[in-house]
């Protein structure tokens, strides 16, 4: 049984992680300070240090939260009966986030890229959200058609979604994601056995 103090602590830590995630997405990891996070979360600066000894700890927590968000999305998509429907659901999720992606890029992709670029101890942590997404896509493609094509198709889909998010952010054009979503859905239909 969780006490009121424990529940309050969990909520405060979650607010800090959510605030850091928002700041990392809007302005990047490098320029974001603990003071920025405390201000965004409307929590005393000392609390950030209480929950996170170093910035790397906070980055790891945000990356883990992003991975959890992907896992939750994929679990919802697993409710669809057919693999193509599940994959189309992933594309639809990207299209529904197009306005945010056109401002700052994909929240997961931009964070993982920035963290992985240094390839320090957080490099493996940064790879995890992508590994979860790639593995899930590969399973869907394996069910959709020849298993030999599953890994390259999964790579193509994830790369296309991440690439269009980056392109939409650079060109400030959210509708590029909508257009690419339609292309990807046509491609998925072409892969189904006739």
Cα separation, 186 vs 194, whole angstroms:
14
> Residue for token digits 């006739």?
194
Tens-digit pLDDT profile for residues 124-148: 899 999 999 999 999 999 999 777 8
pLDDT at 182 over 80: yes
pLDDT at 1 over 80: no
Cα separation, 92 vs 185, whole angstroms:
9
Q: Domains in the chain, start-ordered, CATH in brackets?
A: 1-53 (1.10.10.60), 63-191 (1.10.357.10)
Lowest mean pLDDT across 18-22, 87-91, 119-123: 119-123
Are the CB atoms for 62 and 40 separated by under 8 Å? no
Tens-digit pLDDT profile for residues 55-92: 999 999 999 999 999 999 999 999 999 999 999 999 99
pTM score, whole prediction: 0.90
Hey, CA dihedral for 74, 76, 77, 78, is it positive or negative? Answer: positive
């Amino acid at each position: 049984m969780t006490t009121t103090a424990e529940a309050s602590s969990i909520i405060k830590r979650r607010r800090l992680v959510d605030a850091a995630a928002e700041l990392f997405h809007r302005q990047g990891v490098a320029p974001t300070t603990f003071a920025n996070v405390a201000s965004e979360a409307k929590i005393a600066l000392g609390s950030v240090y209480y929950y996170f000894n170093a910035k790397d700890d906070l980055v790891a927590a945000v990356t883990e939260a992003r991975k959890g968000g992907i896992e939750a999305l994929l679990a919802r998509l697993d409710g669809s009966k057919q693999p193509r429907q599940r994959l189309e659901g992933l594309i639809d999720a990207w299209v529904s986030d197009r306005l945010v992606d056109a401002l700052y890029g994909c929240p997961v992709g931009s964070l993982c890229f920035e963290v992985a670029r240094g390839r320090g101890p957080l490099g493996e942590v940064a790879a995890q959200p992508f590994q979860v997404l790639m593995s899930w896509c590969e399973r869907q493609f394996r069910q959709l058609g020849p298993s030999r094509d599953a890994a390259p198709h999964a790579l193509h889909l994830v790369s296309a979604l991440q690439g269009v998010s980056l392109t939409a952010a650079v060109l400030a054009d959210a509708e590029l994601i909508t257009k690419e979503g339609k292309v990807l859905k046509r491609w998925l239909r072409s892969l189904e056995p006739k």
